[in-house]
Structure 1
């Protein structure tokens, strides 16, 4: 579907659908709005209320402001999307600044998460020596659940591929 500009009323309605528990796929089918855009609008709405859904222009930042934001991001343990929304900076622009900073500082490029994976699926970085037995058991349960989910997804994908091969269709690479 071709990109369509959405009114404030439409963006607010989509945020309310999300708040009412409607699945992102259903919202996408009804409105044509991608999951990532739904996520961005909802986070803006969550942080700034209705004002967060109003269109705004991104401003030009000085080098010192860029460095300040990069150092702030490094100090905080928040997802990139949330950080960018809170600071009203474009994710694309922030990634560009961060990559340039990494190149100048000779930092490994893996220090900035560039994927759009939901935070629930990203395992927490932990120091096992500082965790209690209960916390370790909780982490183990989380990892087992994540592993079970990944196995189920793989089984479903294998089943779909086998079904497509059986009917003579070429499996997609999605």
Structure 2
């Protein structure tokens, strides 16, 4: 499980790096990932302590994604530089680049539904008798008669079972 590092912790790590401790030392003693530590260090050197405050992730829509990728191509930015500039994860940038390579820029505008897709669990709608063909109507009636017959058999079996139990105990069955 990943450990969350507070602003005070991050500031402490940066002060240690300023004091001359190595990234590996801070990484091993405090359990912060080297990639995160390196990116925080670069941001800290550029922007100061304000860069250590956790920022809200952006919800990038199609035009913003396209603008970011075009900026990466035009200015030859690395994924790390682009992620720090736009506050977007490198993984997202990589995913967008792959999507553009495979499907073009139009694929960036498609919104994917998140979560588990809903299942259509409802019964199929019954047709009205006027809409049914003769064969469908006969099949429907046959199915209904089979269900009715099965129900009557079940009732008869239950009555016989009850009478058999009563005979075993010596009582006479009721006339109901």
Task: State how far apart, in whole Å, the 1-side matches of 2:67 and 2:77 are.
Answer: 16
Distance 1:18 1:79, change over 3 A: farther
Q: Shift of residue 81 of structure 1?
A: 0.9
Task: State how far apart, in whole Å, the 1-side matches of 2:23 and 2:2 are.
Answer: 17
TM-score by length of 1: 0.55
Q: Shift of residue 61 of structure 1?
A: 1.3
Task: State how far apart, in whole Å, the 2-side matches of 1:47 and 1:27 are.
Answer: 20
The residue aligned with 2:68 is: 69
Task: State how far apart, in whole Å, the 1-side matches of 2:94 and 2:9 are.
Answer: 29
Query: Are 2:102 and 1:103 equivalent residues in the alignment?
Result: yes
The residue aligned with 1:26 is: 25
Unaligned runs of 5+ in 2: 106-176
Q: Shift of residue 62 of structure 1?
A: 1.6
The residue aligned with 1:90 is: 89
The residue aligned with 2:40 is: 41
Q: Shift of residue 79 of structure 1?
A: 2.7
Could you give the per-residue CA deviations for residues 15-65 of structure 1, whole angstroms, max 9, x where no partner exists? Answer: 222233321221112111121110121122223322211112211112111
Q: Which entry has the higher C-alpha Rg, 1 or 2?
A: 2
Task: State how far apart, in whole Å, the 2-side matches of 1:89 and 1:46 are.
Answer: 19
Is 1:43–1:85's contact at 8 Å kept on the other side of the alignment?
A: no
TM-score by length of 2: 0.54
Unaligned runs of 5+ in 1: 107-174
The residue aligned with 1:80 is: 79
Task: State how far apart, in whole Å, the 2-side matches of 1:80 and 1:64 are.
Answer: 18
The number of equivalent residue pairs is 105
Task: State how far apart, in whole Å, the 2-side matches of 1:105 and 1:63 are.
Answer: 12
